[in-house]
C-alpha cells in the first residue's frame, strides 16, 4: 500500500464513521448522505490505488506495515552513519524577509483584480522588488557563504583604538540623578 492510498482510506474511514455517528445523533438524512459520500469517494480512489500498486508488482508488505501505514505512523529511520562528518548534509538558507515581501506583493496584486488597476501595478512592483531582493540574498549567500554576526565583536584596531576602547573616567562628567556617587 502506498502513502497516498493509506491517506485516502483514512479519509474514507473518517467519512463512514462520522456519517453513522451523525445519523444516530441527528436523524438528518442530507448531512448523513453527504458524510457517507465523503467516505465512498476517497475509499473508492484508495482501493483503486491499492489495486494498481499490486498489479504493477509493488513490494509486498506485512500486515503490521499495512496497519502502520494506514494509521499514519511513519516508518523507523534506517541506520545512518556513525559520524555526521561521513554524511552529506544539506544546508538550509538563512532566514530572510524577502519571501514575505514577495507574497505580500502577489496578494496585493491579486486584490487589484477586484478593486482596480492601481493595486495591480502597486502589487506587481512590490512582488518584483521582493523577488529581486530574495534572489540577491540567495546569490550573496552562495557567493560569500553564510555571514552571521559574531557573539563578541572584535576589538577596535587602528590609531584611535585606545581612545575608543577605554572611555574617560566618570569624575569629569556632571553628577545626575542616575549617577552612582559611591
Give the residue from 93, 90, 89 showing the smallest Cα distance to 80: 89
Residues sharing a CB contact under 8 Å with residue 43, sequence separation 6 or more, in sequence order: 8, 9, 11, 12, 13, 15, 16
Q: pTM, whole model, 2 decimals?
A: 0.43
Write out pLDDT tens, residues 99-128: 999 999 999 999 999 999 999 999 999 999
Grid coordinates representing 130 are 521582493
99, 102, 124, 132 from 108: Cα distances, Å:
14, 10, 8, 17
Per residue in 46-90, pLDDT tens? 999 988 988 888 778 888 888 888 888 877 777 766 666 666 666
Amino acid at each position: 500500500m502506498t502513502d497516498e492510498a493509506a491517506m485516502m482510506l483514512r479519509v474514507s474511514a473518517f467519512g463512514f464513521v462520522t456519517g453513522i455517528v451523525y445519523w444516530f445523533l441527528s436523524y438528518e438524512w442530507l448531512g448523513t448522505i453527504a458524510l457517507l459520500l465523503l467516505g465512498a469517494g476517497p475509499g473508492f480512489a484508495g482501493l483503486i490505488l491499492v489495486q494498481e500498486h499490486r498489479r504493477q508488482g509493488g513490494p509486498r508488505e506485512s500486515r503490521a506495515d499495512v496497519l502502520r501505514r494506514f494509521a499514519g505512523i511513519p516508518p523507523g529511520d534506517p541506520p545512518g552513519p556513525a559520524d555526521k562528518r561521513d554524511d552529506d548534509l544539506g544546508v538550509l538558507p538563512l532566514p530572510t524577509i524577502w519571501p514575505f515581501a514577495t507574497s505580500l506583493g502577489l496578494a496585493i496584486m491579486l486584490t487589484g483584480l477586484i478593486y482596480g488597476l492601481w493595486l495591480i501595478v502597486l502589487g506587481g512592483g512590490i512582488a518584483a522588488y521582493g523577488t529581486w531582493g530574495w534572489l540577491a540574498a540567495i546569490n550573496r549567500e552562495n557567493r560569500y557563504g553564510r555571514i552571521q554576526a559574531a557573539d563578541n565583536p572584535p576589538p577596535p584596531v587602528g590609531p584611535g583604538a585606545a581612545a575608543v576602547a577605554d572611555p574617560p573616567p566618570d569624575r569629569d562628567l556632571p553628577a545626575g540623578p542616575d549617577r552612582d556617587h559611591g
